[in-house]
Amino acid sequence: MGIPAPRPDLATTEAPTTPAAARPKRTNDAIRELLSKWGLLIGLAALPVYFGIHDLTGSQGDLSRLGENMVRGLSNGSIWALIAIGYTLVYGIIELINFAHGDVFMIGAFTAFSFTGTIGLTLVTGPLGLVFGLFLTLIITMMVTGSLNVMIERVAYRPLRGAPKLAPLITAVGFSFILQNVGLLWRGGSQKSVPDLIKHNDEVVNLLGVPINNGDVLAIGVTIPLVIVLTAFITRSKVGKAMRATAQDPDAARLQGINVDTTISLTFLIGGMMAGAAGLIYALYQTSVSFNMGFQAGLIAFTAAVMGGIGNLKGAVLGGLVIGVIQELADNRIGGQWVSAVVFGYLIMIMIFRPQGLIGEQTREAG
Q: Is 303 in the site for other proteins (CB under 8 A)?
A: no
Q: Which stretch binds other proteins (CB under 8 A): 29-37, 146-154, 248-256, 327-335?
A: 327-335
Rounded CA separation 303/296 (Å) = 11
Residue 196 as a binder of other proteins (CB under 8 A): the answer is yes
Q: Which residues pair with 243 in a beta bridge?
A: none
Tell whether residue 297 is a contact of other proteins (CB under 8 A). yes
Cβ–Cβ < 8 Å for 358, 81 = no
The least CB distance from residue 277 to other proteins, in Å, is: 16
Exposure of 158 by Cβ count < 10 A (0-12 exposed, 13-18 middle, 19+ buried)? middle
Residue 288 engages other proteins in binding (rule: CB under 8 A): yes
Q: Give yes or no for residue 287 binding other proteins (CB under 8 A).
A: yes
User: What sections of 204-258 are H helices per DSSP?
Assistant: 214-236, 238-248, 250-255
CB of 118 or CB of 237, closer to other proteins: 118
To the nearest whole angstrom, how small is the minimum distance from the Cβ of residue 302 to other proteins?
Answer: 15
- Residue (17 or 337) nearer to other proteins, CB: 337
Which of 17, 18, 57, 193 is close enough to bind other proteins by CB under 8 A? 193
Compute the residue count for the chain. Answer: 367
What is d(CA 259, CA 255) in angstroms, rounded to the nearest whole number?
9
Q: Which is nearer to other proteins, 75 or 263 (CB)?
A: 75
DSSP state of 60: S
Q: Characterize the bridge pairing of strands 192-193 and 288-289.
A: antiparallel
Q: Is 209 in the site for other proteins (CB under 8 A)?
A: no
Which residue blocks in the chain are alpha helix, DSSP H? 8-14, 19-34, 40-57, 64-94, 101-118, 127-152, 166-187, 214-236, 238-248, 250-255, 260-286, 293-308, 313-329, 339-353
Which of 92, 119, 131 minimizes the C-alpha distance to 309? 92
Our finding on whether 360 is near other proteins (CB under 8 A) is: no
Min dist CB 275 to other proteins, Å, is 15
* Virtual torsion, Cα 59, 61, 63, 68, nearest 10 deg: -40
Of 292, 314, 345, 349, the one binding other proteins by CB under 8 A: 292
Q: Which is nearer to other proteins, 143 or 339 (CB)?
A: 339
Residue 72 near other proteins by CB under 8 A: yes
- Binding residues for other proteins restricted to 116-175, rule: CB under 8 A: none
Nearer to other proteins, 197 or 227 (CB): 197
Cβ closest to other proteins, residue 10 vs residue 208 = 208
Backbone dihedral angles phi then psi of residue 264, each to the nearest 5 degrees: -65, -40
Does residue 78 belong to the site contacting other proteins (CB under 8 A)?
A: no
223 is a contact residue toward other proteins (CB under 8 A): no
Which residues in this chain contact other proteins in the complex, by CB under 8 A? 65, 68-69, 72, 76, 79, 177, 180-181, 184, 187-196, 201, 282, 286-288, 290-293, 295-297, 327-333, 335-337, 339-340
